[in-house]
Amino acid sequence: MLFLRAVPVRFERLHVSGLRCLSDVEIDLAPGINVFVGANGAGKTTVLEAMFLLSRGRSFRSGAKEALLQRTASELTIFGEIHRANGTRSRVGLGRQGTRWESRLDGDVVPLGTLVSRCAVVCFEPGSHALIGGAAEERRRYLDWGVFHVEHDFLNQWRRYQRALKQRNSLLRSGASTGDALFEPWEIELAQTAVSIDRWRRAYFEALRPCLIASARQLLPELGVPELRYRRGWPEDSELIVQLREHRGRDLSRGHTTLGAHRADWSVGFEQAPVREHLSRGQEKLTALACLMAQAELFAARRGEWPLVCLDDLASELDSTHQLAVVDQLAAANAQILVTGTELSAALKSRAARVFHVEQGRIARLL
């Protein structure tokens, strides 16, 4: 795959307080490779999690949001200083006190969507294989992250869709009459917003296709030509508004809406493994990595700047050959990288890198 030498977003400084085992740490990041080494449970992954929280407003780890807050802490704060490709600088922050979350940009309180739009991070971690072998929700999130950073009205349309979906599902669970009077307003809203969401997803998926195919061929050449399929969540030969009306009775018996943009999915198959069930766990991981690398490349092509790339527990997730290939590709693209591991892997020893030691929630620079 040809990696673009776009100028990366540079996170120059990260300050984290009250997040899991990180009581109060401040990290000056290098523009290239940053490696965090230490024993399991020391807090390495939490550094990457902090970056991911700034970019998504949620963690890549499973579990309740309450688990994010350190037991002895009354609040959680994450602040970062960013140097952008156009030469501008900004300060981004996310905090939580009690049950209230607050996002900030250059000191001002802003909607979470505004914060997320300024922090582009892609992350490969032990659970990333779920992008291929897991539930469709992860694959929709993957597409929607890409669309969000391209289409300015996507978040508004997505929220309108979710509100209409919630109202229709509430009617279905209440056992309301299936007549038009109650359902029609919400079904019209669902259908209108779904068309926009589907159009944006489909366009993004088509733009992603050549990047993903090239990335998959490079990481998994033994599987042959990759084939990608997109499904919008309702039949291609019918309008959603018609389907919603026709399936009210069925949906009433099930208690939820069975067709729509919230049921969309996509898949990647290979010439030698046509369905994802034929992939080993290792192949699922490499396919997921190919998807994330392709997404980062497309982001760079469209925005002129690379997202921050996080690679968690790299040595245990990939063999040495693939570790070296990924690091070489990202270094050639001039991307900023955060990598974790129990030790400095062979793939990183020959690279100029800033190395940090993490122990019991404390972080010290080694190199």
Examine the pLDDT at 207 and tell me if it is beyond 90.
yes
Does residue 80 share a domain with residue 41?
yes
Q: Model pTM?
A: 0.92
Strand 33-37 to strand 353-359: parallel, antiparallel, or no bridges (unpaired)? parallel
**Per-residue confidence at 79, pLDDT binned at 50, 70, 90?**
very high
Give mean pLDDT, residues 263-290: 88
The predicted structure's pLDDT at residue 64:
60
Tell whether 132 is covered by a domain. no
Tell whether 128 is covered by a domain. no
Helical H segments across the chain, by residue range: 44-56, 112-118, 130-133, 136-148, 154-174, 180-219, 240-246, 248-254, 281-303, 314-317, 320-332, 346-349
The predicted structure's pLDDT at residue 271:
87
Give mean pLDDT, residues 230-234: 98
89/3: higher pLDDT:
89
Does residue 320 share a domain with residue 355?
yes
Does residue 59 share a domain with residue 154?
no
Amino acid at 60: F
Does residue 267 share a domain with residue 148?
yes
Does residue 285 share a domain with residue 144?
yes
Which residue(s) pair with 47 in the sheet? none
Does residue 46 share a domain with residue 31?
yes
Does residue 70 share a domain with residue 27?
yes
Tell whether 158 is covered by a domain. yes
Does residue 144 share a domain with residue 7?
no
Does residue 322 share a domain with residue 364?
yes
Domain limit, last residue, from 303, 329, 357: 303
Residues 248-276 pLDDT 10s: 999 999 999 999 999 999 999 998 886 66
Tell whether 281 is covered by a domain. yes
φ, ψ for residue 254 (rounded to 5)? -95, -20
Examine the pLDDT at 17 and tell me if it is beyond 60.
yes
Does residue 198 share a domain with residue 90?
no
| Range(s) of the domain holding residue 335 | 1-120+307-367
Does residue 254 share a domain with residue 166?
yes
Examine the pLDDT at 24 and tell me if it is beyond 50.
yes
The predicted structure's pLDDT at residue 331:
87
Helix axes 281-303, 180-219, angle to 10 degrees: 100
Examine the pLDDT at 193 and tell me if it is beyond 70.
yes
Classify the phi-psi angles of 98: left when phi > 0, otherwise alpha if psi is within -120 to 50, otherwise beta. Answer: left
Examine the pLDDT at 69 and tell me if it is beyond 70.
yes
Examine the pLDDT at 277 and tell me if it is beyond 70.
no
In total, how many domains does the chain have? 2
Examine the pLDDT at 118 and tell me if it is beyond 50.
yes
CATH code for position 298: 1.20.1050.90
**Per-residue confidence at 1, pLDDT binned at 50, 70, 90?**
very low
Tell whether 126 is covered by a domain. no
Domain limit, last residue, from 280, 303, 326: 303
Does residue 35 share a domain with residue 178?
no
The predicted structure's pLDDT at residue 6:
59
Tell whether 130 is covered by a domain. no
CATH code for position 354: 3.40.50.300
Are the beta carbons of 127 and 276 closer than 8 angstroms?
Answer: no
Between the alpha carbon of residue 357 and those of residues 78, 120, 241, 348, the distances in Å are 20, 25, 56, 15
The predicted structure's pLDDT at residue 110:
97
Residues 123-164 pLDDT 10s: 999 999 999 999 999 999 999 999 999 999 999 999 999 999
Tell whether 125 is covered by a domain. no
Residues 355-365 pLDDT 10s: 999 999 999 99
The predicted structure's pLDDT at residue 7:
62
Domain limit, last residue, from 279, 303, 327: 303
**Per-residue confidence at 2, pLDDT binned at 50, 70, 90?**
very low
